[in-house]
Amino acid sequence: MVDPTAPLLAIVAEAVPFLRIDGVQRRDWCRVMRAARDPRIGPWRYVARYTVLDQSTWDAPGEVLYLVTDAAARVRLVGESGSRLKGRWKLAPMFELGTRRPMGQRALFHSSAWRSIEAAFDGGEPMPFTVSAIFRPQLEALCRREGGVLAGALERARAGQRDLAHHVETYVCGLVACGLPLWNIAKTGSKRDPTVRVDTTLHPGIQI
């Protein structure tokens, strides 16, 4: 029987760690955005203590898939960008709640998943959290080498059906069905790829 998690192991091994969240400090803050109802405004409750492991990777442009692993080496978050990592992982200016006055500091922020990440902080998830990335050329080579569901993702990307990173993200989100404990589980319903069959009897408590 084919292990549906094997391609994820290959992705994790190939991805380059560029950021590590070592801990957090409890502090209230918010962002200021043009739209009053923009969910990125917050309020937010934590400021991360982090270490930059590879600045050149964080700065690099291009289509990219990224993963967050915890201290137990479990994949907790998957995402993608069609243009650059800093479109997702950024240093956001901090503002005071209520007054919206600048606090004169920047905080690590994820453009769509920070609320889920803060929930992990609340839950005492084991740190550090390591953020790794794999860009399109390396991801494409990996898909060709590994075959299977990753080759299928490459075929769909070549047919013009979204970016390759999007299709690989869809595969990873589908692994929630066999126990992958993703924080961004709200995405898995829409991201689930019906062509990827996942045997839920395999690895009921995956640690990847």
Q: Where are the domains of the chain?
A: 6-191
pLDDT for 127-148, tens place per residue?
999 999 999 999 999 999 999 9
Return d(Cα 16, Cα 128) in angstroms, integer. Answer: 16
The confidence score (pLDDT) of residue 178 equals 83
Return d(Cα 30, Cα 28) in angstroms, integer. Answer: 7
Return d(Cα 97, Cα 29) in angstroms, integer. Answer: 6
pTM value is 0.86
The confidence score (pLDDT) of residue 2 equals 65
Residue ranges of the chain with per-residue pLDDT less than 70: 1-2, 161, 185-208
